[in-house]
Structures are given as C-alpha cells and as structure tokens.
Structure 1
C-alpha cells in the first residue's frame, strides 16, 4: 500500500463531513438519499484501517480492551445520537409533543442544525487525519522501502564506478496510468478470490449480516413499534414521552457503566469486564470470540423476544435493555474474527468487505422489508373496517381493530427478533464445523 493510511482516513472523514453538511442543506428526498450514500465513505475508510492499526499497536495484554472500547463507541454513538437529536430539538424549540410543533420544527430548520452541528464536530478529526504521521500496518511494505524502490526505478540505468558515473543498458518498466489502474484491479480481484476462500470469514460475515439486519430495523422501526404497542393500549397516558425519557436515562447510564468498565478498577461493569477478561486470558483466541458471539447473541435474542411478548411497558424496557446489552457485546469479537481469520495483508480488505456486506445485505434492506410487511398487515386488518364504514355501520369494531393493530406490530417485532436466533446459529456452525467442538 503506497498511500498513508491516516491520509486515506482523513479523505474519508472529509467526504463524510461534506456529505453531512449537504444533508443538512438538502432540498429534496432524493438529494438527501444521495448525500447519505457518501456518508458511508467516511465509515468505510475509518473502519477498514483503524481496526488493523489498533490491533498492531495496542499493548499485547490490552488489545481486548482497546478493541472493545473502539467497537463499543459505535452503539454508544448511535444511542447518544438519539439523545443529541432530541436535545437539539428541545433546546431550540422546547419539547416536541404534538404534530403541530413537529411541523414547526421542520419549517424552522432545527433538524438541519443537528446535522450541521454533527459536521462541525467531525471536522477536527478529518484535519487530524492529514496531520498524523504515517502509520505502518503489518503485511504491507514500509514507507522507506517504497521510497527506495521509487528511487531505484528512477536511477536504475546508472552505476557509480570509482569517481565516474557510467550509464548501462538496463530496461526499465514504466507503468502508464492505465496499466497502474489495471494492475490495481487485478490485485483486488486476486485478493477477493483469496478472501472468499476463507470459510471462517465468509460464515462469520453471514452471521454478522443477519445480526445487522435486526439492528438496522430496530434503529428505524423500534421507536414506532414501541409507540404503537404500548401507547395505544393505555391511550390516556403519554407513555411515549415516558418511554423516551427512560430510554435517554438508560442510554446515559449504560454509557457511564461502559466507561467505568474500560477505565478499569473495582467499579467495572460485571458482564462486559468478564467478557474482556476471558478474551485477555485466552489471547484473543478466535474460538473464545465465537463462543462469546454465539452465546451472547442467543441469550440477547431470548431477552428481546420475551420483551415484545409482555404487555407491561416497564417490563419490556427492562428485558429489552438486558437483551440489547448482550447483543451489543458482540461488536468487538465479530470484528476480531474478521481481522484474524485472514493473513495480515488482507485485514483492511476483510474489514471493508464485511462493512459493505452488513450494510448492503443487512441494515439497508431490513427497514424497507419490515415496513412492507407491516403495511400489508395494516391493509389486511383495515379492509373490513372500511367496508363497514362504507355501509354506514356506525358500530364498526374500531377498538378491535386497534387491538389487532397492536398485535400486528407485536408479531412483526417478534418475526424480526427471531432473525437473531439465525445469527446465533450461524456462529454456532463455525464452532462445530471449523473448531471441531463435540
């Protein structure tokens, strides 16, 4: 790799910053969709190169904690993003409680301010990417060797004999720009072929895709599902406001507990610290990571699945919080397996392909698919009600329809959550098939 990885990260974060600014300045739906596509450039460059850098430079006994901190920043950032967006809206226009105030918030640009503020926060990190010293990744030639090869290429037709410079006939191979691009694509194709032959990597990514399918749909449809399931049952109370407050408090408390876990000491969070302790004792062994992946995902799926069967809002919050804590504990192990099941020179490519795969086949299609399923259910449930209204039957069972609507959302959430069991099963397959567990 002849490019400074930190500079590539800087380029990616710069594109991310500009794309977010354009999102805040968008004037149509398709324009903001296009800008959101470019937002992924920053994530791809950062995730692909930052993880191998941490893996190479972290102290041997602290690699688990360093990688854990890095990957826990992702779900923590998503959770804080919800809090940030809500706080930004309340700071500018007060609590948003009605559709009228939401419309006023839209017209007065408060959602744009949130995006612009996000871009401002990222700008210093984009600049740091260009200012940092070049980093060296294992499996790639050093910067000095690249410079030496370049110097030899320029001077390989001259020899020094005594005090005189003698020109000799040595053929030089100069690549044109087209040949260089062609060579890059050829090397990429060879690396992809080698990567696809790594069975552990392929199966691990399949499990990661299934996992991300659920997480992506949770992120988009979770608040609406909670609103429909629990507010419509007790419509005399503003349960959605209570749910939002509790969610924010839980987010902040989890963030504090995770920080204590990473700082060390006697006040560590029990579950996460035990996970990292296991990984340290076994030197990040892939087998232990797969054990943690499969078991944590399976237990988390049980908690989340059970939570959606409850009629109590507060019971749902407790079980779902425990389930999410278990599910998000898989972030570091799954990426560790992606890093270490391939040779060092393929680590950036493996991280890039896994990131592309989990988005293209995971969280990108999951939200539309869940929406399609729910819309078809609503149309099916509402058709008899509409027929009775057309017949001027004033005693149409609206309450029964509302209850069916609630059960419809509940079933959709349960179907979605069941995909987590598929992810756990796929990771169990790696344990049984590739590690020979009996």
Structure 2
C-alpha cells in the first residue's frame, strides 16, 4: 500500500509536478486530474479484485497487479503527451487495487485479539509513509534527473514486490472457508442460494445489498470520504500552496511536508490504535474517537490556514491537525471489518476503498484546482476544503450512537475484562450482554 500512495506523493512533489505542468502546459484543473486518474483506475478494479480474492490465490493476484503497476509507471515516464500520462495513471491505479481487498481481512485474521486496532494502525502507516517518501523521493530525483526518471526508478523499486508475491506460498483467510461461502438472507427475507449456483453479478449484487443494510458500516465508510478528500488535496496541493504562500525553495517545502507527514502519521496512527485497545475496542468507542479526531483536525487546520503568519507556524498547526486526523485511521479501518459478516470482509474492504476514493480524493483535487482558479488565494481555497471535515464529524458521531451488529467473536469485542469476570463467576459460556447495543443483530439469519 505504501507504493500506491507513494505514487501519489511522487507526482505531487514540487520537484516532479512543476516539471510536468511546464512540459505539458497544464492548468490547475488539468493538473488535478492526475491524482484522480490513478484513483479512478483503483476504484474500477477494486470491486473485481474483492470478488476474485475468495476464489484465487491472493498473493498471485497481488503479483499480477503490481506487475501492471510497474509497467504503467514506466509508461508514465515515457509519456509523450498529457493524455498518455493520464491513461497510464489510470492503469497504475488498476494494478494497485489488487492489494486493497486483502490487507484488512488478513490483519484481522492474524492479529492478537487484544491488539487488533494497533495492528490496523501499523497497516495504515504504510500509505502515509508512502506519501511522505514520495514527497522526498520526487523532490530529490525530479530536480536531479528529471521527472521521467522518478517514474522509472519507482517501477524498479516495485520489482522485488512483484517477484515475491508471485512465488510466495498461498494463504487462507476466514473468508475462503467453505461454510462462509454461503450468501445470507436479506432484509426482504429472500432464501439463500449457494454462490456456486448463482451468477457472479447476482451474487455480487446480493452481497452489496447486505453491506448496504448495515448502517454503522455505511456511516463509517461515508464518514471517511471527506477525510480522504481533504488528505488527497493536502497531499497534492499542499506543497504548491506552501511554496506560493511563503516563497521558499521547492526542495524545502517538499522535504518539510514529507518529514511532517512521516512523523505525525507514525505517532498518531499507533497511539490511536493503542488508545482504542486500552479503553475497549468497541465499535461505539472507535466511532466517537474518530468523530473527536475529525473535529480537532478541522479546527486546528482551519485556524492554521486562516491565521498562520509564516510557514513554520502553518506547518506546526498543520502537523497538529494531521495528528488528530491520522489518529482515527486505525479505528476506522477496524470498524470497516468488524461491522460486516466475515465472508464479506474482502468486499467490504473493496467497497470502502471505492467509496472513499470516489467521493473523496478523486473529485477533490480537480475541485480544489477550480477553487484556486476562482479565488486565486491559497488560504481561502484550503479553508473551504477543510470545511468538508464537518461531514466526517457528524457522520462518525451518528454512527457511534446507532446500534449495530459486531461480527467479531465475543472475546474480541472490547469486553475482555467483562469476559474475565464471567469466567471467574463460572459463566464463561454466556453470550455477551450486548454492550451499548452493539451485538444486537441487524440481519438475524446472517452467518457470523
């Protein structure tokens, strides 16, 4: 996953992006379509991969996808015009989609029950480190060798991953177990039909209906869209905004954004996961924590773009806002897995990725480019962008107050102390009481 967003960081760095804009004579809107193209390819392919994950060796698919990604990266470096570059960016995203649907279910399968949120936090570090590494890498390679070599070297770096994924031993996820591969009843009460006997599109449609019938899953997925949209625009336009606001060297801006992103992501993502595991990894705790983080991030970043008189002050306030926003990544990823039947976890991961990009960082970079064209004021443009986080604050808060089903085993549902007391009282086999209503089933007949 670090390569996915690393590619976004590379093309967003001033060292690469400014050369692309100059060579192809791009305006802000056209330039903003480059990150969106990558994500458009990713979201188109993600649903296909989510279904194939239950049928084929996941590591082989990852190897194939990364191979496509590497070839398309070379194509970006050789692009003779903007439209070829745009097409290769779409193909890069499609190749990257192979890993999106595997990582979440895999982590939930292998992580210790008391540390699952922390493990999700570690997983979420890789995209962020990829962003920061892309800034630094592009900021160094672009001025030294030219923007095309940044893509060539990036493809070469990805080659070992392709080889490893193609030769690695197969893995078995809970989602691939035989008794989990049976569609469940819908809210309408229709009977079950084995996947093997149903058409692929019919089965996919039924599974998507089931996902849509889980309101907490839907709110969690939709709440992250404005966060993803804000991140996508900060990633792409942040270095350019800092450069034009404060007229500092491009290399300084790229390096600063990269270092700040690395530092804040490591601290915030790990602390966010640890905090939820410590206070109890219930879905309610996770959703309310995400809401609080989005609110703090909104207020601090908004204040930074409004009032910061210098780049050091702006980057300090931006770092504080990123800390608050990044802290919610691990709980958000965990809720996306925990609120759906085990069999549907790969599809939930794929749909979460599609939705978050489709309504998040696919439309926002071109939109921000359009805003800047209208306002010609980076402070005002970024202030308007940051206001999108209000949606996340409200949606997470509503999700934290709604009852919904937690599909984890009882001992993994943030009630480890209560389970221990039950064992001491001789009630180890008792069903959990349904703290905060989180274990009240939404679809009574669904397989767990």
- The TM-score, its normalising length taken from structure 2, stands at 0.70
Task: Identify the structure with bigger relative contact order (alpha carbons < 8 Å, sequence gap 6+).
Answer: 2
Equivalent residue number for residue 216 of structure 1: 232
Shift of residue 278, structure 1, vs aligned partner: 2.5
Q: Distance in 1 between matches of 2:199 and 2:262?
A: 49
Shift of residue 304, structure 1, vs aligned partner: 0.5
Q: How does 1:60-75 map to 2 (within 5 A)?
A: 60-75=113-128
Equivalent residue number for residue 319 of structure 1: 317
Equivalent residue number for residue 288 of structure 1: 285
Which of 107, 117, 123 matches 2:159?
123
Q: Is the 8 A contact 2:273 2:331 kept in 1?
A: no
Rate the CA distance shift 1:430–1:248 in 2: closer, same or farther, 3 A: closer
Shift of residue 305, structure 1, vs aligned partner: 0.7
Rate the CA distance shift 1:75–1:128 in 2: closer, same or farther, 3 A: same
Q: How does 1:176-195 map to 2 (within 5 A)?
A: 183-195=199-211
Equivalent residue number for residue 383 of structure 2: 414
Equivalent residue number for residue 246 of structure 1: 256
Equivalent residue number for residue 54 of structure 1: 107
- The range that moved more, 293-302 or 61-70, is 61-70
Equivalent residue number for residue 140 of structure 1: 176
SS in 2 for 1:139: helix
Shift of residue 248, structure 1, vs aligned partner: 4.4
Q: Distance in 2 between matches of 1:252 and 1:414?
A: 23
Number of positions where the alignment pairs a residue of Structure 1 with one of Structure 2: 339
Q: Distance in 2 between matches of 1:249 and 1:195?
A: 38
1:196 aligned onto 2:212? yes
> Which segments of structure 1 move beyond 4 Å, counting only runs of 4 or more?
179-182, 239-242, 251-255, 271-274
Q: Distance in 2 between matches of 1:197 and 1:250?
A: 39
- The range that moved more, 302-311 or 238-247, is 238-247
Shift of residue 241, structure 1, vs aligned partner: 5.6
Shift of residue 223, structure 1, vs aligned partner: 1.9
Rate the CA distance shift 1:306–1:197 in 2: closer, same or farther, 3 A: same
Which of 246, 255, 262 matches 1:230?
246
The answer for unaligned runs of 5 or more in structure 1 is 93-109, 147-178, 232-237, 259-268, 379-407
Shift of residue 228, structure 1, vs aligned partner: 2.9
SS in 2 for 1:342: coil
Q: Distance in 2 between matches of 1:61 and 1:432?
A: 23
Equivalent residue number for residue 84 of structure 1: 137
Q: Distance in 1 between matches of 2:65 and 2:112?
A: 27
Shift of residue 115, structure 1, vs aligned partner: 0.8
Q: Distance in 1 between matches of 2:155 and 2:367?
A: 30
Deviations 1:108-129, CA, capped at 9 Å, x for gaps: xx21111111111111112222
Q: Is the 8 A contact 2:286 2:335 kept in 1?
A: yes
Rate the CA distance shift 1:87–1:241 in 2: closer, same or farther, 3 A: closer
- The TM-score, its normalising length taken from structure 1, stands at 0.71
Deviations 1:361-382, CA, capped at 9 Å, x for gaps: 211111111222221234xxxx
Shift of residue 340, structure 1, vs aligned partner: 0.9
Q: Distance in 1 between matches of 2:69 and 2:197?
A: 25
Q: How does 1:327-406 map to 2 (within 5 A)?
A: 327-378=325-376
SS in 2 for 1:134: coil
Equivalent residue number for residue 92 of structure 2: 39
Q: Distance in 1 between matches of 2:259 and 2:223?
A: 31
Rate the CA distance shift 1:239–1:213 in 2: closer, same or farther, 3 A: same
Rate the CA distance shift 1:301–1:432 in 2: closer, same or farther, 3 A: same
SS in 2 for 1:3: coil
Q: Distance in 1 between matches of 2:339 and 2:262?
A: 35
Q: Is the 8 A contact 1:72 1:331 kept in 2?
A: no
Q: Distance in 1 between matches of 2:151 and 2:89?
A: 12
Q: Is the 8 A contact 1:279 1:288 kept in 2?
A: yes
Q: Is the 8 A contact 2:66 2:95 kept in 1?
A: yes
Q: Distance in 2 between matches of 1:421 and 1:319?
A: 18
Deviations 1:169-196, CA, capped at 9 Å, x for gaps: xxxxxxxxxx989721111111111111
1:17 aligned onto 2:70? yes
Equivalent residue number for residue 402 of structure 1: none
SS in 2 for 1:376: helix
Deviations 1:291-325, CA, capped at 9 Å, x for gaps: 22111111111111111112232211111111112
Q: Distance in 2 between matches of 1:325 and 1:136?
A: 35
SS in 1 for 2:173: coil
Equivalent residue number for residue 294 of structure 2: 297
Shift of residue 142, structure 1, vs aligned partner: 5.7
Q: Distance in 2 between matches of 1:224 and 1:4?
A: 42
The answer for unaligned runs of 5 or more in structure 2 is 1-53, 182-194, 405-435, 438-448
